[in-house]
A and B are shown apart, each in its own frame.
Chain A
């Protein structure tokens, strides 16, 4: 798909405005320490949002992602604390449980024809119930601070590794760009002007360098952020360059056309729901890692709604077929910045929710206006 970058415009503009406003209102907002905290805070919900995007791209919805994230975190905690399983095994079992739940949702939706809204609403309620059942002894399970899971969110990359990762990724991106240009020229296909190809590389390179310098002034680059960024990049590449990614977008665009073209619609749908719940499980474990505990409100409260809002603010269409994995990153950055800034300013959460609501509405309105003008130009 041709990417104009226009889809990201509302989210990018939002991030700039929010940073400017809170930067003026609070001297702490743009401090390295706070920015580091902000980036850490956004990872669990961002990971869940990434999974929800996979389902939104099909034009479906997963309302159970929050409950599933809480349930799988509890599964992990119960397995380690009560059954004394090795942590790695417990984490693997919890993630696998997420996958199984997603396959179940996907099969009930794709095979039995139960609307995704309904089956995942059932999941939202049911998996929350299972979570409470598993937690009935006590209600809270604390994870040892020195354990693997808790340490995940307190691990920081050494400076040399951070810089190596940054330079390495940019170099890989540049090399891929050059290679694709060469291949296109060799195949007699048109290429964009060199500056047009170099511009995103330069801008992203600058932003990432500034980010790394900022993070280095505090504790460094958190491992959690690297995990999240890797997931985002991997899913973006999968969506754009694999056959199954193409089929996901096709189903989101026109399911009947996809079916007539011989695409395995059922298989792709099950895969999308499985990916969503798997990422929800990973997000739940990361959330447990940040809290060093699981409790009855794990995966509850507004996590699900914020994850969906993040995807939409990032430019994902609820009607399917439009959006990218980067929407999770940009959207959650907007939402978490608002939350974080409001907390710094000691504003009541009632105001925070209202502001988030307004930002969501504005982002979607701006997006539909942009979409309309894009249409108008071609007619």
Chain B
């Protein structure tokens, strides 16, 4: 949490620009992300949110601009670079294998092994501890993911991002298409990430969720920064005005 001392800025991006042919997707965009805070990134469709997180995740290479991680200049050219720095991204499609169980999904591609054999007990124990620490309730981690609810799946995807022990977690629309109760579950997981001291960048269309969980809000409009607000003490109209550019 932020009370008591200066927040530690983990990631800061400055003057990021990206042009796709005729479209200037990002125009000198910047943001700072501190440990133990949730920064909501909002904006209308086409405002550049997706492009910005793809730049941070190394999926898109920016034309210009700089990234500083932990106070050190960093170069993120590939997804691997972002992961190596400690930036984990959970995309909207989750990328889970529905036929595999929760443990297998958590360790997909990073299976613990001995002589090419899976160390299932060790992985299951870590999986349970991780999910318990996030307060995610899944009755049996050995059931296929296809049997889980949408909120549980989102939680599994977030938990998987944490296995690499990142410092920054980027969540792309984690509550889209979830019901009320499942949204509450996922928001609770996001608060847990903050408690762990992670820097969370939350992309969302849903201002109710943004208010429920974020500390600060950064607004993008037409590829440019359109204001940054402390969530507490700002009303939704101000944000909507910033998103739409309606004279506020």
Contacts and interface: CB of A to CB of B under 8 A. Distances in A.
A311 B118 CA distance: 26
A252 B108 CA distance: 13
Contact of B108 (A184, A189, A258, A378): A258
Contacts of A250: 97, 100, 104, 108
20 contacts: A1-B101, A2-B101, A183-B121, A187-B122, A188-B125, A189-B124, A189-B125, A241-B117, A242-B116, A243-B113, A246-B100, A246-B104, A246-B111, A250-B108, A253-B99, A254-B97, A254-B98, A258-B108, A374-B147, A378-B147
B101 to A, nearest CB: 6
Given A1-B101, A189-B124, 15 more contacts: A1-B99, A1-B100, A1-B144, A187-B125, A189-B121, A189-B128, A243-B111, A243-B113, A243-B116, A246-B118, A250-B104, A254-B96, A262-B110, A375-B146, A375-B147
B95 A252 contact: no
Interface string B146-160: 111000000000000
A218 interface: no
B100 A249 contact: yes
Contacts of A1: 99-101, 104, 142, 144
Nearest to B94: A257
Interface of A: 1-2, 180, 183-184, 187-189, 241-244, 246, 249-250, 252-254, 256-258, 260-263, 321-322, 374-375, 378
A242 B118 contact: yes
A189 B111 CA distance: 19
B99 A252 contact: yes
B140 interface: yes
Contacts of A321: 97-100
A222 to B, nearest CB: 32
A1 B144 CA distance: 7
Nearest to A4: B143
Contacts of A184: 121
Nearest to B96: A257
Given A250-B97, A253-B97, A2 B140 contact: yes
A257 B97 contact: yes
B109 interface: yes
Contacts of B125: 187-189
A257 B128 CA distance: 22
Given A242-B116, A261-B108, A2 B97 contact: no
Given A2-B143, A242-B117, A243-B116, A263 B95 contact: no
A244 to B, nearest CB: 7
Contacts of A242: 116-118
Nearest to A255: B97
B75 to A, nearest CB: 21
Nearest to B97: A253
Contacts of B101: 1-2
B54 to A, nearest CB: 14
A375 B100 CA distance: 15
A244 B101 CA distance: 16
Nearest to A371: B146
A280 B147 CA distance: 35
A254 B104 contact: no
Nearest to A323: B99
B99 A322 contact: yes
B117 to A, nearest CB: 6
A242 B111 CA distance: 10
Contacts of A374: 147
